[in-house]
Amino acid sequence: MPRLPLITVFTLCLTMMLGSTTHAQTMQVPEVGAFLPSIVEVKPGKVTPVDGLWSISSLAKIVRIDRGRIYAIEGWNHLLIFKIKPGMVVITPFQEEAKGIYSGQDLPLQGPLKAILTGDRILDVTVAGAMGEVRYQLIPQQLDDPDAFNALIKEVRAAGR
């Protein structure tokens, strides 16, 4: 085979492969709603000292702790295809078991949650999820009652946490 047609065939094949790779890179994974309750479907409970806006450390997304429920302020994808949208409840009920220790059900991770407030002002969260244990931290961004939160932090520090 002459040299010129061989180079032409090689170039065409390379162009086709690169073209299909570029096409594959621009394809998007379909998104499906996360099938979670909305904030209007979950009745509020008692006000807590940790009510306010918090950032999820592993996602860098904001959620709101609000009277016994936690809901998304910013959306994110869960397990690549499930879209958690603002206003969807992700943890309920979020209840205080003891000073600075909370329990609940993490709906996206499908498991019981335990959150422990530390003297460093963060909630250390552990979820015994459907696919194994997951750990993350909630970092306060804006609290509804900073005085109540600071009083709780003093108690937590006095308890050695």
pLDDT at residue 10 in the model: 39
pLDDT at residue 34 in the model: 55
Chain center to CA of 111: 14
pLDDT at residue 24 in the model: 47
Segments making up each domain of the chain, as ranges: 1-30, 32-158
Q: Are 114 and 100 in contact (CB under 8 A)?
A: no
Burial class of 90 by CB neighbour count within 10 A (0 to 12, 13 to 18, 19+): buried
- Kindly report the pTM of this predicted structure: 0.76
pLDDT at residue 17 in the model: 45
- At the topology level of CATH, where does 32-158 sit? Lipocalin (2.40.128)
Per-residue pLDDT of the chain (161 residues; tens, 9 = 90+): 444 443 444 344 434 444 444 444 555 554 445 578 999 999 999 999 999 999 999 988 999 999 999 999 998 776 556 789 999 999 999 999 999 999 999 999 999 999 999 999 999 999 998 889 999 999 999 999 999 999 999 999 999 98
Sequence-distant (≥ 6) Cβ neighbours of residue 73 within 8 angstroms: 53, 61, 62, 63, 64, 86
